[in-house]
Structure 1
């Protein structure tokens, strides 16, 4: 991390690992899906500085991020987490873990194609 006071918003989002590519970050900003301190941003070249609050959608979540520091490069995730403070309220556990895994669905015996086990049982009966 450096002592630089400002940085391009698209470059910062990429360095903080919110987006895999800088181009993806540029598209989000250009489409108007990012707010900086409540104002919609449409220019990826706008400068961001520590203390500003960014709001944007990522997947099914809305991220509310406070910029804490600037980055000199895109480092590992552990370094990237030091660049921001997450202000969004914590998600409920069920939503955070994704959809609950479905239990194994049973099918009625004799319906549909035989399973491998049923095919083996049929082969044993035939022999």
Structure 2
């Protein structure tokens, strides 16, 4: 996010850590229905991010990516698997987890940053 010019990150950190706690608990309990629900939520959110990323790149408006993704997540939040009992903060945090796990990013060269993050 800092690479994309974001300077205030406290809420993003809270979102990430809340979602990460949920994901770790699901992994620890290893309940198949919850694991599948988390995988489904991740795929849905990744799709939302990808669609907006591609549009923002095509429009040369990458600065609009974060707010567009957050709007879409807010709009789709109620459609995520109910088994996860996610608040909106968790859904936004799951997007941050995608970024942290090298599956998405907020700048055009996000893949390079993900590789550097792995090595660093």
- TMscore range, shorter length: under 0.3
- TM-score, normalised with respect to structure 1: 0.23
Structure with greater strand percent: 1
- TM-score of the superposed pair, with normalisation by structure 2: 0.24
